[in-house]
Amino acid sequence: MLRNLAFFVLFCFFTTTPAQAGLVGTIDTSSNGIVANNPLWSFGKTQVSWEVSPYKDSWKYVYTFQIPSTTNSKPEHVYIGVGDNFQRENILIGSDTDWNLGNLVIAQKNFHSIDLTIGKKNTVEIISNRTPKWGSLAFSSNTHQQSGAFPNNLWAFNSNFWGSSNKSILGTNQFGLILVPGDETHIAIPIPNSIVLLLLGLSLLVMVVARNRKTIYKQIVL
């Protein structure tokens, strides 16, 4: 029983630490995780990073964009894909205020998405009661230094756009996909790492005391 308790606490520790749980990740053009419609963003290292974590009884989604400085451009809008049943009330107070929800037409298909304006720090933040799933995003810019035959509008997508995965969000990050607000609503109950560490220490202490008592008992019997 004591051994099972120790394993349980260890499990809680590793599954409540974002870095261990796979709730952080990065995709970029150099590893073919992102594709772009022009050389400005496809060459170099255009990158999107995400971090998803429990926030009160909901979820916080933070996306950070990095564009090669030599392009003289910056991302302006991001379109984060969500399910058809995603409603405005699924975006909660605490999110970036400059957002809209609707359909973006890409390749003659409707991409139901949250449209956010990317701020000066090249990040966007969403608070949602929808649990994360593997999905897609697109981001764009209309302002950059024109050069040669490059298009006026810059676009980039995750390479597995329109793709999906049913694999656990706690496992290995899925190639060409990112974490986005999903189709289900569940209350997130975060366990602070300090509490987990305390439980871990207590359980190990109990195991040590129990083992010492067992050793002393054997010595007395013998």
133 φ, ψ (degrees, to nearest 5)? -145, 170
Q: 75, 67 in Cβ contact below 8 A? A: yes
Kindly tell me if the per-residue pLDDT of 108 is higher than 70. Answer: yes
184 φ, ψ (degrees, to nearest 5)? -115, 150
Q: pLDDT for 173-199, tens place per residue? A: 889 999 999 998 865 544 454 544 555
Taking alpha carbons only, the member of 30, 24, 8, 32 closest to residue 60 is: 24
The 3-class secondary structure across 111-132, one letter per residue, is: EEEEEEECCCCCEEEEEECEEE
- In this prediction the pTM is 0.73
Question: What pLDDT is attached to residue 147?
Answer: 47
Taking residues 95-124, report their average pLDDT: 91
**What distance in Å separates the CA atoms of residue 182 and residue 189, rounded to the nearest whole number?**
17
Q: pLDDT for 142-173, tens place per residue? A: 765 444 444 457 889 999 999 888 788 877 78
Q: 7, 215 in Cβ contact below 8 A? A: no
Contacts of 205 (CB under 8 A, 6+ apart): none
Distances (CA, A) of 130 to 12, 52, 164: 22, 11, 16
